[in-house]
Chains A and B, each alone.
Chain A
Amino acid sequence: VTADLLTPSATQLGVARRRAWGTSMTIVVRPGLARPGAERILDAGLDAVERACSRFRPDAEIWGLSRAGGSPVPTSALLFDLVTAACEAAERTDGAVDPTVGRALETLGYDRDFDNVVDGPRWTSARPVPAPGWRTIALDSRHRAVGVPPGVVLDLGATAKAWTADHVARRVAAQPGVGALVALGGDVAMAGPPPPGGWPVGIALDSATPVGEVDTVVAAWRGGIATSSTTVRTWQAGGHAVHHIVDPATGDCASRHWLAASVAAPSCVDANAASTAAIIWGEEAPERLEAMRLPARLIRHDGVVLTLGGWPHDGEPHDHDDTVERR
């Protein structure tokens, strides 16, 4: 338990931390007595999802899809749900968040756990590989089978992490009277009864930012908050700095029009899809996010902060949507 995270109004919280998937993870439960059980659910969820869809584990179930030469492959319910969630995110974002970017990420050098990518950057001169598109994935719900065209590598990273946060939070909160917040590498999911005043969630460029140094804090009661940033998880490839958010249309890194995009949504998967898509949409992001009716906070490349959809103004209550301030 990390005592410095406990606020006077939330002394009944239990907090545990993990390090997995090349990033940090936090689970907060109320009452604190539920923490041991919540940790077991978190560990089991992380392990199951990794075995199902990690690109960095040769024995992961997802590689069976690529090896099948395009034939539909019966899958576990978990992998089918993960692929389905990724396709749903692609559909909701008009393909901006696309699970078929695996080959593009490999070409950019992100072909191993990110800890190793940073420690040993791969230099490559290969041209970017546009994603073939999520509509090439065949989902057979009746037989719970997935078909992937030959040569296509799926990367569920964007949605799988958020899906896991949702899944773990809901499983923990399935216990009567237990509320849970699960933060996996900056993707936050909340379920069950929240603390009085809601779950206070800090917003920052980097999920590793200490809680006392965040840009702003919002209170949320349920659902998810996700932040995507072009300033973290970067490495060198082909002689230039790249980041992990790939534009499926080009296979190259998305532009850095936004340094970060934070979005709140009814689920962490929805929030993650929208925040990732916002980075890829670039200048069109505000209009598209408003159409999705999602509260969002965007930091432009010049430091200007844009809040829309009712996202609270940094630092104090606000009276207007679409407010702009300079950091």
Chain B
Amino acid sequence: MPSSRHASRHVTSSNESRRRRGRALDVVPRIFWATTAVVTGAAIGLVGLVAHDAPGHAASATQTSSSSSGRATATTPSSTTPSSTTPSSTTPSSRSKSNTTTTTLEPTTTTPVAVSGGTSR
């Protein structure tokens, strides 16, 4: 019956796959595990970096939202990293649409360490 043949082919295919996988594991076990280790390490590093960079160490690198808790999160194209020694190499339009970062504000009653106001004397 077609269904049996199909199942048989499927099983066959599965068996062949297992054999191929077994041969592959026999041939390149070290490459496989080395690649897995590198990928896992990179993922852990990336998660750690994002968590460290987020305001208050919250894992929110690029999300745009305005929550009901009084916290404001904004996402806009960031300006380029200032450098007095590295020549600029891109046009303004391409640079202005490059990276994204976040800014978070919360109300506080702490005595300010600086004042943002109109530029005066």
Which A residues are closer than 8 A to B by beta carbons?
Answer: 5, 7, 9-10, 13, 15, 22-24, 26, 28, 48, 76-78, 80-81, 84-85, 87-88, 91-92, 114-115, 118, 139, 141-142, 144, 161, 163, 166-167, 170, 181, 183, 185-188, 197-209, 211-212, 214, 216-233, 244, 260, 262, 264-267, 269-270, 292-295, 309-313, 315-321
Which candidate, B2-10, B16-24, B77-85, is the interface stretch facing chain A?
B77-85
Q: In the complex, are the beta carbons of B112 and A200 less than 8 A apart?
A: yes
Q: In the complex, are the beta carbons of A200 and B71 less than 8 A apart?
A: no
Residues of B within 8 Å of A266, CB to CB, are: 74-76, 78-79, 100-103
Chain B, interface size category, equals 35 or more
Q: In the complex, are the beta carbons of A293 and B74 less than 8 A apart?
A: yes
Please, could you name 16 A-B residue pairs with CB atoms under 8 Å apart, sorted by A? A81-B82, A88-B96, A91-B96, A92-B76, A118-B121, A200-B113, A207-B117, A214-B112, A216-B107, A229-B118, A232-B120, A266-B103, A294-B76, A310-B73, A318-B70, A320-B68
Residues of B within 8 Å of A217, CB to CB, are: 107-112
Q: In the complex, are the beta carbons of A319 and B112 less than 8 A apart?
A: no
Most chain A CB inside 10 Å of its own CB: which residue of B56, B82, B93, B95: B82
Residue of B whose beta carbon sits closest to that of A292 = B76
Q: In the complex, are the beta carbons of A202 and B115 less than 8 A apart?
A: yes
Contact among B66, B83, B111, B113 for A77, CB-based, below 8 A: B83
Most chain A CB inside 10 Å of its own CB: which residue of B83, B92, B104: B92
Q: How far is the CB of A306 from chain B (nearest CB, A)?
A: 14
Q: How far is the CB of B34 from chain A (nearest CB, A)?
A: 31
Q: How far is the CB of B116 from chain A (nearest CB, A)?
A: 5
Count of chain A to chain B residue pairs whose CB atoms are closer than 8 Å in the complex: 273
Q: In the complex, are the beta carbons of B79 and A23 less than 8 A apart?
A: no
Contact among B69, B103, B115 for A264, CB-based, below 8 A: B103
Residues of A within 8 Å of B88, CB to CB, are: 77, 80-81, 84, 141, 144
Residues of B within 8 Å of A199, CB to CB, are: 113-114
